[in-house]
Amino acid sequence: MHIDLSNRTALVTGSTQGIGYAIAAGLARSGARVAVNGRRRESTEDAVEKLRSETGSDQVLAAPWDLASDEGERAVREAVPSVDILVNNLGIFGAIPPLEIDDAEWRRYFEVNVLTAVRLIRAYLPGMTERGWGRVQSIASDSAVVIPSEMIHYGMTKTSLLAVTRGFAKAAAGTGVTVNSVIAGPTHTAGVEDFVYQLVSRDLPWDEAQHEFMVKYRPQSLLQRLIQPEEIANMVVYLSSPQASATTGGALRVDGGYVDSILP
């Protein structure tokens, strides 16, 4: 399948590393103009230079602001006033015993993982509907469906994203704009390596630590390994394409069979 996103502008939040970076690379390779977002200017500009080198695209730009703040959101919107493809990837996670999660932490997770996506959809969706074409995607997680006991506050935010997606898809009905979420399974990123070592012995080599983590904490996985970020990006690039024009309001799984369901 040949995917051509030439003349399309994409914004990928939280894209200086991990899944977001892989998504930005995939979109750039397909011809899109891609805005890379991170909280710090230096790391964002470094990611932009790396992406330009790896993809051969000169259509990669930096949008280095903290989207969890009002000032950061306004700065990103000023730098990228119009987008055709919005990928809400920004998110935080961490293991905390459920009864130790205080109110401030519940609010912080909801602000970062949910409200940043809501604000950007609210900002960019009207322009997409006016033009009659657009793609909105929010990166959810298997934790939206299989709530992890070690981070139920994170799972709650990802469940919320599924509801947000379905609701905004209805708001965009009949306009040529699609709104979907992608349910990512356990994925190998630097942040996940740190998370794995919160749960298993730091004395273990990475391959052994990953295996122990999957066996003890993610035994439902049918892949029985962590997913690579590029495997998530492949789904996002497809959903961003004209070929995905009839897919909207959905929660598409790239979870390695982790969620025990025969429905998407």
What residues are annotated to the active site?
154
Residue 219 corresponds to which tokens in the numbers above? 């035994």
Q: How many Å apart are CA 39 and CA 14, to the nearest integer?
A: 8
Q: How many Å apart are CA 264 and CA 259, to the nearest integer?
A: 9
Q: At what angle do helices 190-199 and 206-217 cross, to 10 degrees?
A: 70
> Which residues are CB-neighbours of 250 under 8 A, at least 6 positions away?
165, 180, 181, 264
Pairing of strands 177-184, 134-141: parallel
Q: At what angle do helices 116-131 and 152-171 cross, to 10 degrees?
A: 20
Cβ atoms 26, 3 nearer than 8 A: no
> Which residues are CB-neighbours of 110 under 8 A, at least 6 positions away?
156, 157, 160
Q: How many Å apart are CA 75 and CA 67, to the nearest integer?
A: 9
Give Rg (Cα) of the chain.
Answer: 18
Cβ atoms 179, 193 nearer than 8 A: no
Residue 125 corresponds to which tokens in the numbers above? 């969706």
Nearest to 153 by CA among 215, 205, 210, 111: 111
Residue with structure tokens 């979420």?
A: 181
